[in-house]
Amino acid sequence: MLVLRGADIVDVTGIREADVAIEDGTIASMGDVPDADEEIDVSGKFVAPGLIDSHIHASMDGRPDVTSLNHDSEMMLSYSATANLRDALHAGVTTVRDLGSPTTLALDAATAVESGLIEGPRIVACGQNVVMTGGHGHWIGREADGEAEVKKAVREQLKRGAGVIKCMATGGVLTEGAVTGSPELDRAELNTLVEAAAAKHTPTAAHAHGTEGIKNAVRAGISSIEHGTFMDREAAEMMADRGTYLVPTAKALHGIVEQGTEAGIPPHAVEKAEEAAGAFEDAFEYALDAGVTIAMGTDAGTPFNFHADIPKELELMTEYGLSPEKALESATVNAADLLGLSDVGLVEEGYRADLVVLDSDPREDVTTWQSPEHIVFNGNMVR
């Protein structure tokens, strides 16, 4: 048994002082714990749930041109994923949702983490994202056109063990020739995708920048909208009414716009990112005003968007108007609910022992997530 002594525990339920006893990967008890095999004095520190990132790409490493991944072998991509996942865990991220990696890479990584073969956070993976022929991210996606092909593509991912089905409802920033906000999969294809996933009670996610594509996805019953960059007030209100999550991924645009073509990012990506960044602030405001539920996600792996820097997303979201308390909620219980996980996101008895020890109260200082003093994953001390 490991005990964290004298903790100020903070999660969405509030703050309280207690010892935290950890055994067999779970929080065994809280309060005054008399005996322990190992103790860590965390007096004056804050114990919070480990972060959950709802949108990463394990095999992408933040390089300026993501399409150059096409030149890497599957073995090299696996090594990159191993390093990226370790970086995420050592940043205090204990659960991630991979929304698109080549073939079965992320699904296999989930098994490797669970078995202890590699070091990394718990992974919920989509396998390959479903994309129209030549659509956004086609180089790592499963291309499909028409309802029959989309149904087959979904069933292929489910057969492989996908815990979420991801699709491209609009074009994107990083694909040359794709129009960022233009619809790609159509209404009928999106309806088919959701219906096929529902047969296995599997949630869905849609990459969607433009308003029309967002509305198509929401009407189809998609579980989460990724990015939502050009959404209007009507789209935000639709999302709130139907309980559709928003995963805003502020870091994705931030890295591209901040670094630019001088850093080797393709000109088409920089141009589209700059246009999108101008709309993102309004879209985020519409989402907050409408009461859309936000789950933290970064799109980690895109240009200069490194897995080691995932906690920076919480600071960026607060700069766009989210309170530190809501940022904590987005990266813990909201993300856990979106991923379908009932035993992470809180510091409570019976929950998985996925914890970070912070120097200050994250409800007051959102930057404290960026420098955890200790990390516990599945009951084991990471550092």
pLDDT, one tens digit per residue, over 323-374 is 999 999 999 999 999 999 999 999 999 999 999 999 999 999 999 999 999 9
Indicate if the pLDDT at residue 34 is higher than 80.
Answer: no
Would you say 184 and 131 are in contact if contact means Cβ atoms under 8 Å apart? yes
pLDDT in tens, 132-155: 999 999 989 999 999 999 999 999
pLDDT in tens, 2-31: 999 998 999 999 999 999 999 999 999 998
Per DSSP, the three-state class of 117 is coil
Indicate if the pLDDT at residue 383 is higher than 90.
Answer: no
Average pLDDT, integer, range 235-254: 97
The C-alpha atoms of residue 50 and residue 237 are separated, in whole angstroms, by 30
pLDDT in tens, 107-127: 999 999 999 999 999 999 999
pLDDT in tens, 89-103: 999 999 999 999 999
Structural domains of the chain sorted by starting position, each given as residue range(s) with its CATH number in brackets: 2-49+346-381 (2.30.40.10), 51-339 (3.20.20.140)
Q: How far is CA 282 from CA 134, 208, 239, 286, 326, in A?
A: 30, 16, 16, 6, 18
pLDDT in tens, 265-275: 999 999 999 99
Cα 328 vs. chain centroid, distance in angstroms? 14
Name the β-bridge partners of 204: 165
Would you say 355 and 344 are in contact if contact means Cβ atoms under 8 Å apart? no
Indicate if the pLDDT at residue 305 is higher than 80.
Answer: yes
Using alpha carbons, select from 127, 184, 121 the residue that is nearest to residue 155.
Answer: 127
pLDDT number for residue 176: 87
Tokens of 258: 């901040």
Q: How far is CA 306 from CA 124, 249, 256, 363, in A?
A: 19, 13, 12, 24
Would you say 243 and 217 are in contact if contact means Cβ atoms under 8 Å apart? no
Work out the number of other CB atoms within 10 angstroms of the CB of residue 28. 18
Would you say 316 and 250 are in contact if contact means Cβ atoms under 8 Å apart? yes
Mean of per-residue pLDDT scores for the chain = 96
pTM of the model: 0.97
Average pLDDT, integer, range 275-303: 97
Look up tokens 């009407």; give the residue.
219
Q: How confident is the model at residue 177 (pLDDT cuts 50, 70, 90)?
A: confident
